[in-house]
């Protein structure tokens, strides 16, 4: 696309930042610091290096490493040559990683030796091992910095024409058929979400974002992109370590960071004596000890965080801050997205009824990489079918109900685990819980609750069942309750597949995306 009215590409926006913010820091990683013009120049060199490996439009570049400024750099260089960049989950087993390596068939793989080299080597041994492998954490001649090569002589006029609607970021997700699929996200999708999410979170060029969550997840990347779009500074740390985070926040005056539950506690522990000045952080988790340590966050997002999102749409599709006080639990759609709740025949269902959430808009993925049948099915009729169930409330707001694949069928009734889980979680003796369906010859499935008891409390199975009977429709109450010490998790999320395997779950009517 070379028309004046084409949308920006990631490479084009970087070029503009280099012009508009010549003194602003773009990336910080330990002792390495790059202004926007410096990052732009490195991205040009890297784009030249990719070009020498014949990486062009539609080709893939794979990252097998922890967080690094090179994730952003490789994304932007891939963008500049029209290629797609995938930061893969290095926490996967060698077999899982080998599947990703083979599935992507990348022309260039950039990998890390420190801490994760054994796993990467094992995966490489299992995979077909095509493409050029470049180790990023070495200064040797076969390493990344040598790979970069000399300055690229291209000026912007000679840049390859890149279509902003083409895919630039690949994120593996949606392992609904036992293997993950890589959502292909376009330049327009990434930049538009950066603008909208950045707007709600109040992200500006003055912001300094600490990339302390995994960069193979949109949870972190949404904010990385918003910070880049605004012309702010992205700071990278290889892993989550409370001491390192505190030191980095103080040194770089970070205004934001990707922090979840246990990290707050760890940072409070490390900084109990107030050794670190964390006052630059804008953060409002509503915990007094934390709030006393950091600055206030007055953004719309901070007042009403969250919403409903999917990797397949660069994260958030609805925002709670667009529906403050509304009936729905998950806000209203982003201004970039149209959203409809439909039945199995793709007819819109009336407000108040549960159906599949479908969406269209410029943040929706271009499809999964290398999954043409799945894509045709998931995007039938010009709408992205999320495989998630939701409800439009009568005030127009949205409630996410749960994954379609985990809907429980008991006799003729549909039961949504999230609703039962929310009820059980309100019991004072329950720390956390998950609800699955177990096969039942008479009723298709029965509801089973897996419960973690709060320390110092006791609760019986009958107590849990009675609590549900008193608070939700009787047919939704669990027939079976098991107690465990902890729920199995994959990253931050409950791992329902493992729960099913351990506790006899199965027979879900929507258990596969389609019957084929």
Which of 311, 366, 399, 446 forms a contact with its own copies (CB under 8 A)?
366
Q: Which of 118, 142, 338, 353 binds its own copies (CB under 8 A)?
A: 338
Sites for its own copies among residues 181-210 (CB under 8 A) = 186, 188-189, 191-192, 194-196, 199, 205
Say whether residue 5 binds its own copies (CB under 8 A). yes
Query: Closer to its own copies at the Cβ: 138 or 379?
Result: 379
Q: How far is the CB of 384 from its own copies (least distance, A)?
A: 4
Tokens (6 digits) for 42: 């490195």
2-10, 126-134, 261-269, 508-516 -> range binding its own copies (CB under 8 A): 2-10
* Residues 306-335: x where in contact with its own copies by CB under 8 A, - otherwise, as a string: ----------------x---------xx-x
Q: How far apart are the first and last CA of the chain?
A: 39
**CB within 8 A of 135, min separation 6: which ones?**
110, 111, 112, 113, 142, 143, 144
Supply the minimum distance, in Å, between the C-beta of residue 82 and its own copies.
16
What sign for the dihedral angle of Cα 205, 210, 215, 217?
A: negative
Cα separation of 499 and 501, whole Å? 5
Two structure tokens written together for 470: 């008193």
Size of the site for its own copies (CB under 8 A): 62
Nearer to its own copies, 81 or 359 (CB): 359
Cβ proximity of 162 and 84 under 8 Å: no
Stretch that binds its own copies, among 15-23, 78-86, 284-292, 426-434 (CB under 8 A): 15-23
Task: Tell me how far apart the alpha carbons of residues 294 and 346 are, in angstroms, rounded to a whole number.
Answer: 48
| Residue 447, strand partner residues | 437
Q: Is 282 a residue that touches its own copies (CB under 8 A)?
A: no
451 binds its own copies (CB under 8 A): no
Nearer to its own copies, 209 or 383 (CB): 383
Cβ closer to its own copies: 120 or 313? 313
Q: Extract the tokens encoding 376.
A: 């045709």
Q: CB of residue 165 vs its own copies: minimum separation in angstroms? A: 7
Residue ranges in 222-281 that form contacts with its own copies under rule CB under 8 A? 229-231
Tokens of 220: 């972190």
Q: Does 13 bind its own copies (CB under 8 A)?
A: yes
- How many helices (H) does the chain have, and how many strands (E)? 16, 26
Within 13 Å and on the Cβ side, how many CA atoms surround 339?
32
Is residue 2 within the footprint of its own copies (CB under 8 A)?
A: yes
Interaction of residue 361 with its own copies, rule CB under 8 A: yes
CA 216 to chain centre: 7
H helix intervals, 156-217? 187-200
Closest to 162 measured CA to CA, from 186, 194, 131: 186
What span, in angstroms and rounded, lies between the C-alpha atoms of 186 and 175? 21
The yes or no reply on residue 39 touching its own copies (CB under 8 A) is no
Instruction: Summarize as ranges the residues that interact with its own copies (CB under 8 A).
Output: 2-8, 12-13, 15-16, 19-23, 156-157, 165, 186, 188-189, 191-192, 194-196, 199, 205, 229-231, 322, 332-333, 335-340, 348, 351, 359-366, 379, 381-384, 392, 394-398
């Amino acid at each position: 696309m070379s028309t004046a009215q084409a949308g920006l590409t990631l490479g084009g926006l970087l070029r503009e930042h280099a012009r508009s913010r010549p003194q602003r820091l773009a990336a910080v990683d330990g002792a390495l610091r790059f202004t926007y013009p410096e990052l732009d120049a490195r991205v040009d060199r890297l784009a030249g290096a990719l070009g020498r490996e014949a990486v062009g439009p539609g080709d893939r570049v794979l990252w097998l490493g922890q967080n690094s400024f090179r994730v952003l750099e490789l994304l932007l260089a891939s963008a500049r040559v029209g290629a797609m960049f995938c930061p893969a989950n290095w926490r996967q087993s060698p077999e899982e990683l080998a599947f990703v390596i083979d599935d992507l068939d990348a022309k260039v793989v950039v990998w890390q030796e420190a801490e994760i080299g054994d796993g990467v080597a094992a995966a490489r041994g299992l995979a077909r091992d095509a493409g050029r492998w470049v180790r990023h954490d070495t200064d040797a001649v076969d390493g990344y910095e040598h790979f970069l090569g000399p300055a690229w002589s291209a000026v912007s006029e000679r840049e390859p024409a890149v279509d902003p609607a083409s895919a630039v970021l690949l994120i593996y997700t949606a392992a609904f058929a036992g293997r993950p699929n890589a959502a292909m996200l376009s330049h327009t999708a990434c930049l538009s979400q950066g603008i909208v999410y950045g707007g709600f979170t109040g992200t500006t060029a003055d912001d300094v974002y600490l990339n302390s969550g995994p960069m193979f997840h949109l949870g972190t990347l949404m904010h990385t992109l918003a910070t880049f779009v605004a012309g702010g500074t992205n700071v990278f740390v290889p892993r989550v370590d409370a001491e390192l985070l505190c030191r980095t926040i103080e040194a770089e005056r970070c205004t934001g960071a990707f922090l979840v539950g246990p990290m707050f506690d760890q940072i409070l522990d490390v900084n109990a004596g107030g050794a670190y000045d964390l006052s630059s952080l804008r953060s409002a988790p509503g915990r007094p000890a934390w709030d006393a340590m950091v600055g206030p966050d007055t953004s719309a997002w901070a007042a009403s965080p969250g919403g409903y999102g999917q990797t397949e749409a660069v994260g958030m599709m609805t925002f709670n801050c667009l529906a403050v006080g509304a009936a729905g639990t998950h806000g209203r759609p982003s201004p970039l997205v149209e959203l409809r709740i439909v039945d199995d025949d793709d007819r819109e269902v009336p407000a108040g009824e549960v159906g599949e959430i479908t969406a269209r808009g410029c943040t929706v993925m271009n499809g999964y990489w290398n999954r043409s049948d799945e894509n045709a099915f998931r995007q039938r009729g010009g709408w992205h079918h999320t495989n998630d169930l939701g409800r439009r409330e009568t005030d127009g707001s949205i409630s996410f109900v749960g994954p379609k694949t985990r809907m429980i069928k008991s006799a003729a009734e549909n039961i949504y685990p999230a609703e039962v889980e929310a009820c059980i979680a309100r019991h004072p003796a329950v720390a956390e819980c998950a609800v699955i369906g177990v096969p039942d010859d008479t009723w298709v499935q029965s509801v089973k609750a897996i419960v973690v008891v709060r320390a110092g409390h006791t609760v019986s199975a009958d107590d849990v069942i009675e609590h549900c009977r008193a608070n939700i429709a009787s047919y939704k109450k669990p027939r079976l309750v098991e107690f465990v010490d902890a729920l199995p998790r994959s990253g931050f999320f409950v791992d329902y597949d493992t729960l099913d395997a351990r506790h006899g779950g199965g027979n879900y009517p929507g258990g596969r995306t389609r019957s084929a």
